[in-house]
């Protein structure tokens, strides 16, 4: 894995997004790592990194990348949740600060159905699934 990316992920995993120093490491890491298929490439390159750092990296990166790359991140996250096969990917997807399946015109029941499936597949994610669903319901009001 690119050293700058690993350094940023490790800093974010330990300090979270509260640390300006960790936050400041994402932009240079993105320049070296690139935007294309960022979420999938990051998961593959950071196979041994804490998922919390990867989620934080993607949260920050979504503000720094092009609109096309941001959309790609969100589509990838939705795909990880729609077909929950990998707990690490699901954990990252549930902690990226975007509500999946909330596109304009989307069926509001889609998110509930997807999260119910995720929680059934990985019961340890049930509390976070409930949290994401509550956040989505607050946004709809």
Domain extent for 19: 3-140
Domain count, the chain: 1
Please give the pLDDT value at position 54. 93
Contact 95, 129 (CB under 8 A): no
Does 130 score more than 90 pLDDT? yes
pLDDT averaged over every residue in the chain: 87
Contact 17, 62 (CB under 8 A): no
Is the pTM higher than 0.85? The answer reads yes
Please give the pLDDT value at position 33. 86
Please give the pLDDT value at position 31. 86
Give the count of beta carbons closer than 10 Å to the beta carbon of residue 125: 21
Token duo for residue 8: 């940023």
Per-residue pLDDT of 52-111, as tens digits, reads 999 999 998 988 889 999 999 999 999 999 999 999 999 999 999 887 777 655 666 888
Contact 99, 108 (CB under 8 A): no
What secondary structure does DSSP assign to the chain, as a single string? --HHHHHHHHHHHHHGGG-HHHHHTHHHHHHHH-STTHHHHHHHHTTTS-HHHHHHHHHHHHHHS-HHHHHHHHHHHHHHHHS---HHHHHHHHHSSS-TT--TT--HHHHHHHHHHHHHHSGGGHHHHHHHHHHHHHHH-
């Amino acid at each position: 894995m690119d050293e700058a990316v690993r350094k940023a992920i490790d800093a974010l995993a330990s300090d979270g997004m509260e640390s300006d120093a960790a936050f400041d490491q994402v932009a240079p890491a993105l320049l070296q790592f690139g935007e294309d298929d960022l979420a999938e490439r990051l998961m593959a390159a950071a196979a041994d990194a804490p998922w919390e750092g990867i989620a934080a990296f993607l949260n920050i990166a979504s503000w720094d990348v092009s609109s096309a790359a941001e959309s790609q991140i969100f589509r990838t996250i939705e795909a990880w949740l729609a077909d929950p096969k990998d707990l690490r990917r699901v954990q990252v997807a549930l902690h990226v600060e975007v509500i999946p399946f909330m596109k304009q015109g989307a069926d509001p029941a889609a998110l509930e159905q997807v999260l119910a499936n995720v929680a059934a597949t990985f019961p340890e994610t049930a509390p976070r699934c409930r949290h994401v669903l509550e956040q989505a319901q607050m946004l709809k009001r």
